[in-house]
Amino acid sequence: MTHHFKFNQIKSVSQKIIMLVLIFFTGLSTTYAQINYSQNFDVNDGSYSGNFSRFTGSTTCTGSGGAMRRNLYAGASTGNMISPLLGVSTGGSITIIYNYKVANWSANTIGTSNPWGSFNVQWSSSSSGPWNTLETVDQSNHIVLASCIARTVSFTPPSGTNVYLKFDAFYTSGDFYLNFDNITVTESAPVCSGLPTPGNTLSTANPVCANSSCTLSLQNATSGTGVTYQWQKSTDGTNWINIAGATNPTHTAIEIPMEYKCIVGCAGNMASSNPILISANSFLNCYCIPTYANGGATEGIAHVILGTLNQTSTSNSPWYTDYSATQNAIPDLARNSTTILSITFGSDYTQYHGVWFDWNHDADFNDAGE
């Protein structure tokens, strides 16, 4: 039986060669461009247009930082503030949360009595409209308070639509400030629809070394919520078995060789990815480069004899030699027999040596008994 081994010079018997096979994984991830916007006006006016103005002080909704407001009275009976582009809709439900306050001029600390007026919360695909009204706040649904009130409104624009927000205000009576603060606009992922098209099954490595693994993913992402995944395995490409717990868009494969695929579901529609056969890499391709003690230019291993192996080093650096590319150079060691190992070093300094054998061909010299 042919066995593989590695020589490495060390400076003391306490040092040991540790061979590590490292594989770095990169998985595909699905990223949605849902709208996720937040503005508290603490730094600036958030690039809002219109005739509301930013102010700071203790009468903002948080008692500090900034907010937007407009003084409405008989001589200034309307006002509006229009957001910058908030994003492009993916077709999911959009939720708007905002704070507002209606308080008497000029202290901005006493709630204005009804009927003060009204304002509309609107959206459009353009900063110039036309505008779609989502809700109207007036004396019918406004509570007179000196503090701010939080409101929530939702809507679902078509996928691929630009989203702008507008607050449109109107005066009825009194003399007051209309304040707006802490605006957030968030979009949830749309529900998936149609037949999934997962495409090919991809792998971070193929073939794969023993005692290693690879991460499987799908060529095409399936957007939306409600998508299901079930990874399967097969030894013959015909009979497939569900892998327990493998219900994510990616899967770490540790059974090699093996064929893998994923069943992707959406709203009752099921589709399979194109299978991939993950094969086992030859252990000859799986050894990593060893570390070694840098003790001086003349301290390399000069000569090694083991059975039929009789090699003289031609260079002291990098102080190790890999004979796996030359099969004939690898000695054949018989079980339960004695073979003499001879190592000659390239200097007169006191040297120590260690030898590790990969008896089980797993490309790891750190197993017990090796």
Q: What is the pLDDT of residues 230-261, one digit of tens each?
A: 999 999 999 999 999 999 999 999 999 999 99
CA–CA separation, 44 vs 181, rounded Å?
12
Q: How many percent of the chain have pLDDT more than 90?
A: 64
Contact assessment for residue 23 and residue 142, using Cβ atoms and an 8 Å cutoff = no
Task: Tell me what pLDDT residue 135 has.
Answer: 98
Mean pLDDT, the chain, integer: 85
Among 254, 184, 189, 242, CA closest to 215: 254
Using the predicted structure, report yes or no on whether residue 1 has a pLDDT greater than 70: no
- Rounded to an integer, the average pLDDT of 145-159 is 97
| Cis peptide upstream of residue 318 (ω within 30 degrees of 0) | yes
Among 143, 17, 33, 35, CA closest to 84: 35
> Buried b / exposed e across 204-219, counting CB within 10 Å, b at 16+?
bbebbbbebbbbbbbe
Task: Tell me what pLDDT residue 303 has.
Answer: 76
Structure confidence by residue, pLDDT tens digits, 201-232: 999 999 999 888 999 999 999 988 999 999 99
Using the predicted structure, report yes or no on whether residue 357 has a pLDDT greater than 60: yes
Name the amino acid, one letter, at 269.
Answer: N
Question: Positive or negative, the Cα torsion across 264, 265, 269, 270?
Answer: positive
Q: Exposed, middle or buried by CB within 10 Å (0-12, 13-18, 19+), for 142? A: buried
pLDDT band for position 327 (cuts 50, 70, 90): low
- Rounded to an integer, the average pLDDT of 117-125 is 98
DSSP readout, 187-252? EPPPBP-S-----BEEES-SSB-TT--EEEEESS---SBS-EEEEEEESSSSS-EEPTT--SS-EE
DSSP readout, 332-344? BPPTT----EEEE
pLDDT band for position 45 (cuts 50, 70, 90): very high
Q: What is the enclosing helix (H) or strand (E) of 277?
A: strand 276-278
- Rounded to an integer, the average pLDDT of 81-107 is 97
| Cis peptide upstream of residue 275 (ω within 30 degrees of 0) | no
Name the amino acid, one letter, at 93.
Answer: S
Task: Tell me what pLDDT residue 325 has.
Answer: 64
Q: Which residues pair with 218 in a beta bridge?
A: 201
pLDDT band for position 290 (cuts 50, 70, 90): low
Report strand pairing: 132-137 vs 117-124: antiparallel
Task: Tell me what pLDDT residue 339 has.
Answer: 86
